[in-house]
Amino acid sequence: MTMDRALQPHRLVRRCMAFVGRRARTLGSRIALLYVVLLASVMAVTIVVAGSGISLFARDNAERDLAANARVFDQIIATRQRQMADAGEVVAHDFGFREAFATGDAPTLASALQSLRDRARVSEAAIVQLDGSVIASGQGSTIDGAAMIGRLEGGQNRGVVSLGGTEALAAAVPIEMPDLAGWLVLVNTLGPEDMGQLVRLSAVPVEAKVVDRSKLSPRLAPVPLGEIAEVDGSKGERLVRVSAIASLQDGREPRLVLAHSLDAALAQYNGLRIVLLLISVIGVIVGGWAAIRLSRGIARPLQSLAEAARAYGGGAVAKVKVQGAIEVRSLADSFNAMVDAVDEREQQIMHASLHDALTDLPNRRFFIEKLDRAVSRQSDIHRTFVAFIDVDDFKAINDAMGHPVGDELLRTVAQSLQDRFPDAMVARFGGDEFGLLLTGLDPKEDCTAIARMLESTLNREAIIDGRGILLSASVGIAIGPQDGDSADSLLKSADLALYRAKSDGKGAYHFFEPELDAEASRRRRMEIDLRRAIRDGDFELYFQPLFSISENRVKGFEALMRWPHKEHGMISPATFIPIAEESGMIVQLGEWAVREACRQAAQWPGDISVAVNISPRQLVADGLATCIAQALAQTGLPASRLELEITESVFIGNVERTLKILHSLQLLGVRVALDDFGTGYSSLSYLRSFPFDKIKIDQSFVRALEEGGSAHAIVRAITTLAEALGMETLAEGVETQELFDALQKEGCDMIQGYLISRPVPGEEVVRLIGSLQPAEARFAVG
């Protein structure tokens, strides 16, 4: 049997897969559908194969049954003929019958034949005489004696004859008296009814009939004798066996046709087929159910994994319930572990993004977030207290004592604030800046008391690394809503207050006042004006003499910048230089001062020198040395007549770099003076770190001389050290002869101050030099 192409296993599987792919969208339904389709396919193939097997088996069985039936039929026919012959034998030897036959006693013969017919239960009993004539048991016999005679004479006594058009079984017994006088013939028809009786004796339902060969249907005619063939007919498929039976008449060829319905044979197995089909259907259903469960077992955890991943992607912390097969459990475990790890890392990142690494305090961003929320809820009875804190001179401490000490100091400040204000949010804004936020303050809360607490917390001695350090910090405070209705404006107000606290003197707090805002806008306006003035070249240089006590003459002038403002009159450098510093404009402005000072000094007589102030920011900017070299070259001023005044604050920050720059300037041949010595971060160590040509002792020391006390000793210490280091000393702000005398006594080399002259415009310098030459007349040099 050849299998249908479509049913070939690999094609079937491929088709199934394609079908599954098209129909099922989820993994679970795909697996389930695939299983069901595969199972159904296997069952279908099984049913087809088993069905074919059953058909083959049934056909074989039917053939065997038919063959056996044929033999039984032969025997039945033979037995029947023998019975008929036996009955005939008795009558043929009966004396009365023989006598009646001999005498021709027709009534007796008829009666004997009738009695024989009835007893032997045959259709007809007759005598065939040697001439072929027939004496029958009844009237109208259709036995054709003449046709039989040939066979009978040939010794044949069994066979089939035609009886009135119907095939009949015949058995002949010779009547011998003693010579052969005829034959007693018993004939029994083989019509449908008779055959039916025969069939009932057979083990299987067969149809049997005896027909003459000439009357065989066209389908049966070609069937070889004695063989079983399959014939299609109106009654469906049948197995047919055609066999020859002996004929007792000439010219006839009777055939026994046995037919067995194949449909009927196969029908016996219908039950089996139905059972097989039921098993398959139940198998597919059970298999399908199992496949659905199995696929759910795989797909459901995957689905919940996917849902969890989606939820996780959406921001929720989703965990998966650990269940299912071991692989699925391990996948869920891994997913959960990943969620935990990512969560932890996210929290770390979150923490890092909102906290300061050094102090672990919230950072500026976090502070502003909280301030934003506080501001949205603030009112006159829920006030917001914002403090902006800046550690004073932190850079100097850091540089002098090293970064580890600086870090520790910041940590100490952080810890102190947290300990003292446990309800506040303390944040580090970066560098040495901190923030403190208190929210929901009612009107009874005393903000000044809080400010004082802050002041006392921040201004004290702290022990760091075993050393006592004097902590100092400035605090700017703003109170919401009065000082600002947004986080931005409150912070700005606190910043302005801090600026003010710093400029008022360090280690103090300052509350925001509206005037600070006005001051800030004034500064902004001035910045704009300053920019325009630089562009228009509105500045002038004034010069103040530097007087040598020992030589009793003016040795040089300090160039001091002036800004003649169209509206505000002459603006002091003390006002605009810090703004120019902050905005960076000082670089451009300072370069102008250097060029202008050199230009004018080149016109001065003799060796009179000029001193130019260089701001810290200008010093570290690129191109200062180039600018100075160019100015000297263009004006022809000898480098030795140019002095640069720098302040101690240049040592805040990168000391090494500052020293490198100072050395490179000294290499140009110019002199370097340390201005305002003793104001800021005064450290005698600076004097040792660089060979200054001059030290300018600040006005504050000079003034202190008038009050007596330790000032004399300090000035003496400075002049002694300077002398030892080969540096000149100059005292600033000398306004009286007494100070002049005192300074001379303490060993000061030079003085500068109103006593000699106020700063004068450039065009007056030459005249001033002239007027100051007979110095002996004016200053009593001891």
Binding site residues, Mg ion, CB under 5 A: 613, 645, 675-676, 732
CA 350, 353, 357, 362 dihedral sign is negative
> Residue 702's closest CA among 755, 742, 651, 729?
742
| Closest to ligand C2E by CB, 575 or 685 | 575
| Closest to ligand C2E by CB, 573 or 747 | 573
| 678 scored as a contact of ligand C2E (CB under 6 A) | no
Q: Which stretch, 25-33, 224-232, 446-454, 750-758, contacts ligand C2E (CB under 6 A)?
A: 750-758
Helix H or strand E encompassing 688 = helix 684-689
Among 254, 484, 759, 762, indicate the residue that binds ligand C2E (CB under 6 A).
Answer: 759
733 binds, among Mg ion, ligand C2E, none (CB under 5 to 8 A by kind): ligand C2E
**Smallest separation (angstroms) from ligand C2E to the CB of 671:** 15
615 binds, among Mg ion, ligand C2E, none (CB under 5 to 8 A by kind): ligand C2E
Give the DSSP letter of residue 754: T
**Smallest separation (angstroms) from ligand C2E to the CB of 594:** 9
**Smallest separation (angstroms) from Mg ion to the CB of 612:** 9
Among 157, 261, 295, 752, indicate the residue that binds ligand C2E (CB under 6 A).
Answer: 752
Q: How many residues bind ligand C2E (CB under 6 A)?
A: 23
| 754 scored as a contact of ligand C2E (CB under 6 A) | yes
**Smallest separation (angstroms) from ligand C2E to the CB of 589:** 7
Name the burial class of residue 521, with classes exposed (0-12), middle (13-18) and buried (19+) by CB atoms within 10 angstroms of its CB.
Answer: exposed
For residue 49, the one-letter residue type is V
| 574 scored as a contact of ligand C2E (CB under 6 A) | yes
Helix H or strand E encompassing 439 = strand 433-441
Among 324, 484, 556, 590, indicate the residue that binds ligand C2E (CB under 6 A).
Answer: 590
Q: Where are the alpha helices (DSSP H) in 556-620?
A: 573-583, 586-601, 616-620
Among 70, 122, 206, 561, indicate the residue that binds ligand C2E (CB under 6 A).
Answer: 561
Largest CA distance in the chain: 219
Q: Give the C-alpha separation, 19 to 25, whole Å.
A: 11
| 191 scored as a contact of ligand C2E (CB under 6 A) | no
Among 483, 495, 676, 728, indicate the residue that binds ligand C2E (CB under 6 A).
Answer: 676
> Residue 265's closest CA among 305, 205, 208, 314?
205
**Smallest separation (angstroms) from ligand C2E to the CB of 697:** 11
| 700 scored as a contact of ligand C2E (CB under 6 A) | no
Bridge partner residues of 280 (DSSP)? none
**Smallest separation (angstroms) from ligand C2E to the CB of 740:** 11
Bridge partner residues of 750 (DSSP)? 548, 730
Instruction: State whether residue 405 is helix, strand or coil.
Output: helix
Contact criterion met (CB below 8 Å) for 185 and 170: yes
561 binds, among ligand C2E, Mg ion, none (CB under 5 to 8 A by kind): ligand C2E
Site for ligand C2E in 603-622 (CB under 6 A): 613, 615
545 binds, among ligand C2E, Mg ion, none (CB under 5 to 8 A by kind): none
The tokens describing 248, both together, are 């007792």
| Closest to Mg ion by CB, 429 or 542 | 542
Q: Give the C-alpha separation, 729 to 674, whole Å.
A: 10
**In whole angstroms, how far apart are CA 687 and each of 558, 701, 704, 710, 753?**
21, 17, 22, 21, 24
476 binds, among Mg ion, ligand C2E, none (CB under 5 to 8 A by kind): none
Helix H or strand E encompassing 65 = helix 27-92
Q: Give the C-alpha separation, 143 to 186, whole Å.
A: 10
Q: Which stretch, 90-98, 524-532, 600-608, 732-740, contacts ligand C2E (CB under 6 A)?
A: 732-740
The tokens describing 43, both together, are 């069952």
- Give pairs for 713-719: CB < 8 Å, separation 24+: 714/678, 715/743, 715/746, 715/748, 716/746, 716/747, 718/677, 718/678, 719/746, 719/747, 719/748, 719/749
440 binds, among Mg ion, ligand C2E, none (CB under 5 to 8 A by kind): none
CA 328, 330, 331, 332 dihedral sign is positive
CA 587, 589, 590, 595 dihedral sign is positive
**Smallest separation (angstroms) from ligand C2E to the CB of 499:** 19
- Residues making contact with ligand C2E (CB under 6 A): 544, 559-561, 572-574, 577, 590, 593, 613, 615, 645, 675-676, 732-735, 752-754, 759
